[in-house]
Amino acid sequence: MKKSITLALLVSLSPFCQAQENNNDISVKFSQSFNRLNESKFGFEYRRNVNENFKVKLGSDYSKGDRSVWLGNSILFGSDSITISRDLAEFSKSYSFYVGMDYEGIDYLSFGASLIIGTNQTLLGAYDRGARYDTSQDDWVNCVECVYDFHEAELPPVQNGGFSNWQYASAIKSTNYLYYGIGLRAAIRIPIKDRFEITSGYEPSFIRSSEFNVVEYQPLDDTYSGKTGTFNTFTHTASVAVRYKF
């Protein structure tokens, strides 16, 4: 009797179980920016079927990057024998969350949109370099000691028997932003057996950023003008994801 009841329950529930199979999926993503070549993203995404063609999604991304602001064109000190120049670079990291929907009504293709919100921290740093004129070589050579003498600072420990790998670095300004916007996605889906899928896509986004906290460590040269207040950016990235369906 018990076996008959159990068998009946399994038969009656089997259509429901099949309908729920692969109703969810989770992805691990990697993205690389086109217009910010040194910026990359790593993230996770969860999706759930709404119907046969549409899926609601929830995800998060972590990104980091850097870019040169000046490249050796700011002279702090110059003479016939010594030159001290400054490079500026920005290092950034951000955390974002998004919610949206994907359409997969076309075989092997996916189109989606999402709302994005996140925070970004940008550190502006100065990297000072020195050069001295070597009369024996009749040429300018690297001179890290000159930079530290100029700043009246102590030289760092010697590494590998020389100073060629060292530069004088100092923080100038740290800025925190709150950002929000809209992201789009067009992707190609490549199934792997029953439960796995690889996607490769293009993701443009329009982001509005608002500055909410600034810490200045030292005065900044007036010739540099960074982004402050509120500003808009358009980014586009290439993404690759590995998806597991369950």
Is 13 a member of any domain? no
Would 207 be classed as within a structural domain? yes
Judge whether 42 lies within some domain.
yes
The per-residue pLDDT for 58 is 98
Residue 15 domain flag:
no
Q: Is the pLDDT of residue 15 over 50?
A: no
Residues 105-135 pLDDT 10s: 999 999 999 999 999 999 888 888 889 999 8
Model pLDDT for residues 38-65, shown as the tens digit of each residue? 789 999 999 999 999 999 999 999 999 8
Is residue 106 situated within a structural domain?
A: yes
pTM for this structure?
A: 0.75
**DSSP H/E element including 19:** helix 2-20
Q: For residue 67, what pLDDT band results from cuts at 50, 70 and 90?
A: confident
Task: Give the burial string for 177-206 (b: 16+ CB within 10 Å, else e).
Answer: bebebebbbebebeeeeeeebebebebebe
Please state, in angstroms and as integers, the Cα–Cα distance from residue 69 to each residue in 76, 126, 237, following that order: 16, 10, 22
Tell me the Ramachandran region of residue 28: left when phi exceeds 0, alpha when psi lies from -120 to 50, beta otherwise. beta
Q: CATH number, domain at 78?
A: 2.40.160.20
Q: Indicate the helix (H) or strand (E) that contains 150.
A: helix 144-150
Instruction: DSSP letter for 159, please.
Output: B
Work out the mean pLDDT of the chain and round it to a whole number: 83
Q: Among residues of the chain, what percentage have pLDDT more than 70?
A: 80
Q: How many domains does the chain have?
A: 1
CA–CA gap between residue 107 and residue 56 (Å, rounded): 18
Helix (H, G, I), strand (E, B) or coil at 84: strand
Domain residue limits at 65:
23-245
Is residue 6, in this structure, part of any structural domain at all?
Answer: no
Any domain includes 9:
no
CA dihedral 138, 142, 147, 148 (to 10 degrees): -110
Q: What was the pLDDT predicted at 233?
A: 86
